[in-house]
Chains A and B, each alone.
Chain A
Amino acid sequence: MNLAEKVRSISGEDVLSCYQCGLCSGSCPVRFAMDLSPTQVVRLVQVGNIEKIFESNTFWICSTCFSCYARCPRKINITKIMEALRQIRLRRDQDKIALSDIPKEELKILPPIALVSNFRKTTA
């Protein structure tokens, strides 16, 4: 599965229909803090350059305000794409946390929801 297909399977969004007009970047309120623009990130997904995306901070900076989606002329939900990239990034890592590493005393007091979400986000 190539990157565009993988992103679609996670987000349900068709990245390939983007025609790179730049409206998302122009509408993004946190663009100033990003190194690559959302348009560029979408392009990198189209061509499958995941490494370059992971070097950038764009998909972490995204504030999920959906401004890009509201204006996108092809109705692509870029916010969902950013979330998909975050998930791919997280899932790719080796387990950052292992159950055996957590002291038993801590396990007793940790809320289950915190554990579950932590495993979901930081384990492969």
Chain B
Amino acid sequence: MKKKQSRIGIFVCKCGGNIGDVVDVNAVLEVIKNWEGVTVAKQHTYLCSKPAQEMIMDAIKKNKLDRVVVASCTPRMHLATFQSVLERAGLNPYMLEFVNIREQCSWSHGPHSSEEATRKAIMLIRGGYERSMELEALETISEKGSREILIVGAGIAGITAALQLGYLGFKVHVVEKKPSIGGNMAKLTKVFPTLDCAQCILTPRMAEVGRNPNVNLLTYAEVEVVSGRPGNFNVKIFMKPRGVDVDKCRSCSVCAKVCPVTVPDKFNEGLSERKAAYIEFPQAVPSAYVIDFNACTKCGKCEQICPSKAINLEDKGKTVDLNVGAILMATGYELYDARKLENYGYGTYKDVITMMDLERLTSASGPTSGYVKRADGSNVGRISIVLCAGSRDKNHIPYCSRICCMYALKQAFVLKKMLGIDVHVYYTDIRATGKGYEELYWRDQEAGVVFVRGKVAEVWKSRNGKLVVLAEDTFTGNVTEEEFDLVALATPMVPPSGLKELAEKMKLSLGEDGFVQEKHPKLDPVDSLIAGTFACGCALSPKDVRDTVSDALAAAAKASLFLKGECITTSPEKAYVIEELCDGCGICIQTCSSNAITMQDGKAKINPFMCTGCAACIPACPKEAVEFKNSTTKQMIAHLKGVLSDKEPEEVRIVAFVEKNVGYTGMDFLGLDRINYPENIVIVPVPSTAILDLKHLLYAFAFGADGILIIEGQQEIDKLTKKRMIEMAPLLAEYGIKTMRVRYSYVPLPVYKKAADLFTRFTERIEKFGPLPIEKRDAIKQKI
């Protein structure tokens, strides 16, 4: 029925000589113009040129074409160009079928014109022609999204992003688990390479974000539940019991004065004490006290004395519900627990400290008012800084923590030049890669800081009470033992506790190192793997202040871009459920790694905004009720029928199902490199190789394939397909097909060249087997 109604226009491009020198385009036209339903068949030297685009538009209008096949270069290059041609001519852009006869034909089977190449081109176009008859009009999916944004974490990253987004006019909610915003940066004294005061540059930003009417600060709070979807996340925030009304508190400090309970001050890394009623640091934002209910005895003295009646010791906390369009992770870092470095004696010797302890000791607002002292209060003459204390170490943290070298150089300079303390820096490699960084290294050397190249082996206390640092000076090969008053360990930055649980709630992927996984390490460095969720600063990896700020600005730009306009849009090419077939068994829900499938009124429903297009749900459905838009079973079968229709009984043909994004790009690169491979390989693109089911393979064999290759380029899908292949092997055997006739290969982009070798070797193998016997083919045909 459909076939009769179709009015198809096929346009073949010569691409100058790129296609025309190898493929006889006129001979191609002679064949295709006779196909049923082909109303127009034309060629052009450059189909992408403006006159040629107008030619197509005219043809569509004059001949009332309802679908178009373009045979030219790779769709990665010009799919959007020709989709726009259709749109301008009044056709739905998804009524375009794109056939690649350059990378996959003329460039792979050239450089001289040959009958084989022409035949291959016709074969490929036939696939597109058959498939085009099954095309459906599709619309970009859009829905109204919230214009509010949630930022998790209010360190320098969260503050920077909040300011940026607030000024752009978005309503921003910033959740911070500590009582004040400011994060780790608020604890630092001076920052490299300029040695300016960290608080002096941070606190104005803190005050600014506190003032911004678009920014809603939710301090002493945690994200409890995240549900919904990109554009409309529903978030439940738990405001921990603070005991103090932030709006009423005048931070007069009377509560702290009367409070009888003292506990170690975490802000000072436990080097001093504070009361149970406290403020983290004088410039805290919001400027309000907090009651530490873990320590508070509820004596009630503070409640009675508070002049603003801001204290409520019965505070149980509360939850706040938010609807936000995007989420920005600015969760920062923690430092690796130095106690785990047993040979360095942290926790055993009081004068073995961390670099963060040293920050507090050198801070004018710190426990010693900026005078570096030993634990017993005596003066310090010699300090050693131990770099790579736990980082670049397979026993602890394998990665480089990136900023330790620089803050050690900064701290060494401050100690040596400003405080006159002798400093030895034990290092493995000084990594000073940044503007003005190497210069600081130089200044350190000139100031007389001693650099010893060797990882410290042990630290112990000698009889005279000094700490002894044992290390090899690897430049001389001598093992050295030096005495110091203080030993500071540069422990690596690690993901904060709680990030893992939060990520699980959000279905956010973390990398091997425990930090948020970015979408692409180079080109999408602040996008997470979930649409509408971004990350910046140390939520992604160890970073210094400058890089964190750059990240935050980038993430703010990406979040605002995501929420620009009234609606959120996404491609229609996603998995969907055919409601009439769905019996609500829920198997698909278990296969979905992005939580896009929910059960509604006994039917599965896939949210296109959350669907990543992995297609794992499709073969899993026992009712065949899940399909993929623009890659439906019908379309795929038509495609196979097309590319196999001209096959002669004695020849051998191989269908290569190639994943559309990464894998397909690799195939394009083979063409670009003019690497030849056998003509009997026909590439059939699929959105993900996980979509492939036994039926696809059987149809391919039934229509004439003698061998099947499956090529995947995406790592996450590789795992799925590998598993499917193991499951499918015995089922194929039931149909009398040797499992050796089907081969799966994971071809990520860097190794695309191996595909050519794979093509050649697989063709040789299948040629040895010979064509699939006709009886077997007929048997499959009957069964399907």
Binding site for B on A (CB under 8 A): 19-23, 25-28, 31-32, 36-37, 39-40, 71-75
Contact between A21 and B474, CB atoms less than 8 A apart: yes
Q: A25-B472, A26-B471 are in contact. Are A37 and B477 (CB under 8 A)?
A: yes
Question: Inside 8 A of B739's CB, which chain A residues have their CB?
Answer: none
Closest 8 CB pairs of A and B: A26-B457, A22-B472, A73-B393, A21-B455, A22-B454, A25-B472, A22-B474, A23-B455
Contact code string B447-458 (vs A, CB < 8 Å = 1, else 0): 000000111111
Which residues from A are CB-within-8-Å of B458?
Answer: 26-27
Q: Of B429, B455, B479, which contacts A37 at CB under 8 A?
A: B479
Q: Which of B477-501 contact A (CB under 8 A)?
A: 477-479
A19 in complex: contacting residue of B428, B472, B477, B478, CB < 8 Å: B428
Query: Could you say which of B393, B396, B478, B479 has the most chain A C-beta atoms within 10 Å of its C-beta?
Result: B479
- How close is A44's CB to chain B, nearest CB, in angstroms? 11
Contacts of B478 in A (CB 8 A): 37
Q: Please measure, in the bound complex, the distance between the C-alpha atom of A49 and the C-alpha atom of B508, giving whole angstroms.
A: 50
Q: Is B388 an interface residue (CB 8 A)?
A: yes
User: Chain B residues with Cβ under 8 A from A23's Cβ?
Assistant: 454-457, 472
Residues of B within 8 A of A40 (CB): 477
Tell me, yes or no, whether B473 is within 8 Å of chain A by CB: yes
Are B392 and A73 interface neighbours, CB within 8 A? yes
A40 to B474, CA, bound (A): 8
User: Which residues of A have CB within 8 Å of B394?
Assistant: 72-75
Shortest beta-carbon distance from B340 to chain A in Å: 13
- C-alpha gap A26/B395 in the complex (Å): 17
Residues of B participating in the A interface, judged by any CB pair closer than 8 Å: 343, 388, 392-396, 428-429, 453-458, 470-474, 477-479
Residues of B within 8 A of A75 (CB): 394-395
Bound CA span A58–B599, Å = 69
**Could you tell me the distance in whole angstroms from the C-beta of A116 to the nearest C-beta in chain B?**
37
Q: Is the CB of B388 within 8 A of A39?
A: no
Cross-chain contact A26 with B477 (CB below 8 angstroms): no
A21: which B residues are within 8 A, CB to CB? Answer: 388, 428, 454-455, 474
- Taking CB atoms, residues of chain B closer than 8 Å to A71 are 343, 395, 457
Known: A25-B479, A37-B472, A73-B388. 20 other contacts (CB 8 A): A20-B428, A20-B474, A22-B453, A22-B454, A23-B455, A23-B457, A23-B472, A25-B457, A26-B470, A26-B472, A27-B343, A27-B458, A37-B478, A39-B472, A39-B474, A39-B477, A73-B394, A73-B395, A73-B396, A74-B394
Contact indicator B393/A26 (Cβ below 8 Å): no
Give CA–CA (A73, B474) in the complex, Å: 15
Q: Which residue of A lies closest to B391 (CB)?
A: A73
Give the Cβ gap from A39 to chain B, nearest Cβ, in Å: 6
Give 28 CB contacts A-B under 8 Å. A19-B428, A21-B455, A22-B454, A22-B455, A22-B473, A23-B454, A23-B456, A23-B457, A23-B472, A25-B477, A25-B479, A26-B470, A26-B471, A26-B479, A27-B457, A28-B479, A31-B479, A32-B479, A37-B474, A37-B477, A39-B472, A39-B474, A39-B477, A71-B343, A71-B395, A71-B457, A73-B392, A75-B395
Nearest B residue to A19 by beta-carbon distance?
Answer: B428
Q: List, in ascending order, chain A residues with CB within 8 A of B396's CB.
A: 73
* Set of chain B residues within 8 Å of A36, measured between Cβ atoms: 477
Nearest B residue (CB) for A17: B394
By a CB distance below 8 angstroms, the chain A residues around B456 are 23, 26
The residues of B that contact A73 with a CB separation of less than 8 Å are 388, 392-396, 455
Chain A minimum-CB-distance residue to B393: A73
